[in-house]
Amino acid sequence: MSSNEEARFSLFSKKKTQKIDKADLKIPVHLAVIMDGNGRWAKKRMLPRSAGHRAGADNLKNLCKNCGHYGIKYVTVYAFSTENWSRPESEVHTLMELFVEYFDRYDPELEQEGIRVRFTGDIKSLPENIQAVCKRAEEGSKHRTRMTLIVAFNYGGRREIVQAAQKLAQQVKEGKIKEEEITEELFAQNLYLPDVPDPDLIIRPSGEERTSNFLVWEGAYSELWFSDVLWPDFGMKELTEALEAYTKRDRRFGGLTKEKKE
């Protein structure tokens, strides 16, 4: 193995040389997951892509339970991107149908787990029936406090930033704020969900090692963890490995560790 390969392995690999006791794990407040690999999961089993998407949707329920086990307060999942509209019409239709079915089918379980549901993305551009599902799921789960599941649907990080800039430009035009008053803090307040803390950890299964326009602003200082496991097979074992890796990270946010300061 070359020196470059060794460095890459040590940075991104899910493998560990020493296990960490659960009590010693550093638990992120906000975990984000790019649910990737449904199509490949189905192909390996000689099944239609729709079967992979269905298996992936079912696994979201498992993720919520596993995150609840560790006391994670916010879980954001990348369900449908602004770029996914370019997929075949039949596949897009399947994804939309699964979206509706998921919340009709699993809402009682989400209720039992105390999971509030919210959505992030360009929701107003979605078909009316999908918007109605979003509204129903959000309104019906407001009272739940154990965890917040945020579903990124018709989401694109760049579009979110552009729309925030448009809001601020309109406020300047209307004389509500001055151009020089625009700060990072004010900009962040104009994003889709300004009250939600930035993700501490972003996980991507499936072997891909990029964030694909997901939480571009919010994930600027997130820790990243990648796994070769395809999303429908991503379970408690992989989540625990990700949390073990996260526990070992030194989050400096551009500063120095305490040891280096001294």
H or E stretch covering 149 = strand 147-155
Answer yes or no: are the C-beta atoms of 16 and 243 closer than 8 Å.
no
Instruction: Express each pLDDT in 199-251 by its tens digit.
Output: 999 999 999 999 999 999 999 999 999 999 999 999 999 999 999 999 999 87
- What's the pLDDT score for residue 252? 72
Which tokens in the block code for residue 125?
Answer: 């551009």
* Cβ within 8 Å of residue 113, ≥6 positions away: 64, 65, 68, 146, 147
Answer yes or no: are the C-beta atoms of 113 and 156 closer than 8 Å.
no
- Beta bridge partner(s), residue 55: none
Averages of pLDDT over each 10 residues, the chain, 262 residues: 47 50 88 97 96 96 96 97 94 94 92 96 96 96 97 98 98 97 98 98 97 98 98 98 96 63 55
* All structural domains of the chain with their residue ranges: 26-157+197-249
- What's the pLDDT score for residue 69? 95
* Cβ within 8 Å of residue 40, ≥6 positions away: 52, 206, 230
- Beta bridge partner(s), residue 80: 153
- What's the pLDDT score for residue 15? 44
Instruction: Express each pLDDT in 142-162 by its tens digit.
Output: 999 999 999 999 999 999 999
- What's the pLDDT score for residue 194? 98
Q: Which residues are catalytic?
A: 36, 84
- What's the pLDDT score for residue 18? 58
The domain 26-157+197-249 is placed in CATH, from the list 3.30.1600.10, 3.40.1180.10, 3.50.50.60, 3.40.640.10, at 3.40.1180.10
Q: Which residues of 70-107 are buried (b: 16+ CB within 10 A; e: fewer)?
A: eebbbbbbbbbbbebeebeeeeeebbbebbeebbeebb
- Beta bridge partner(s), residue 69: none
- The candidate with the shortest Cα–Cα distance to 15, out of 250, 227, 257, is 227
SS3 state of residue 99: helix
